[in-house]
Amino acid sequence: MSKTVLLVIDAQVGIIEGPSIGPVYKKEALMQVMTNVIKNARESNVPVVYIQDLDVGSDNPEQHSIHPDILPLTTDTVIKKKATNAFFMTCLKKTLDELQCEHLVVIGVKTEYCVDTTARSATTLGYDVTLVADGHSTTDNKVLRAEQIISHHNCNLHGLDNIDHFVFVRDSHEDIFEHKHLEYK
């Protein structure tokens, strides 16, 4: 049986709530999905790894903090990063390898930055990825509304493959911790 790990990317107050970066699109719905996914992971004994961006709220401890609705437990892992790619100059790959991870379930913010970059990178490092379609969000930019950015990434990342590993985009109400990729290998 393959090992699944839940990755919670940059779910920090300063991004989710604002004021300088957020609030993210459909903040309340996102928080409900993330809360449920994390709860389901813990109930299923799926390890939970949080990624925390050191640049978010670097001058404001409250904004830098992981959102209080989904705080890590002492049994969870928190990895700090500086780059958009959660693998770059961090111990994430080492941590996932120690957990014998083969399947990474991804939730968090912001869609077009850290969520996208980390999901793509994970496939090149030997992990199958399930991106939770309703478990990531972002804010509007100068060209696109947040809703468009999220839809675009859900469409483009679904089926993205790098030789042997690929991304599935699935809704949170599905069995996202099932390593469905194996059905196609």
- Does residue 57 contact residue 14 with C-beta atoms inside 8 Å? yes
Output the pLDDT for position 26: 98
Output the pLDDT for position 1: 56
Output the pLDDT for position 20: 77
Output the pLDDT for position 150: 98
CATH of domain 3-184: 3.40.50.850
Question: Which pTM was predicted?
Answer: 0.97
Tens of pLDDT, residue by residue over 145-174, are 999 999 999 999 999 988 899 999 999 999
Output the pLDDT for position 22: 77
Tens of pLDDT, residue by residue over 96-130, are 999 999 999 999 999 999 999 999 999 999 999 99
Output the pLDDT for position 133: 98
Output the pLDDT for position 142: 94
- Does residue 154 contact residue 133 with C-beta atoms inside 8 Å? yes
Is residue 9 predicted with pLDDT exceeding 90? Answer: yes
Tens of pLDDT, residue by residue over 44-80, are 999 999 999 999 988 889 999 999 999 999 999 999 9
CA-based angle 34:38:40, to the nearest 5?
115
Output the pLDDT for position 116: 98
Tens of pLDDT, residue by residue over 14-49, are 999 988 777 999 999 999 999 999 999 999 999 999
- The domain segmentation of the chain, as residue ranges, is 3-184
26: left (phi over 0), alpha (psi -120 to 50) or beta: left
Handedness of CA 107, 83, 60, 150 (dihedral sign): negative
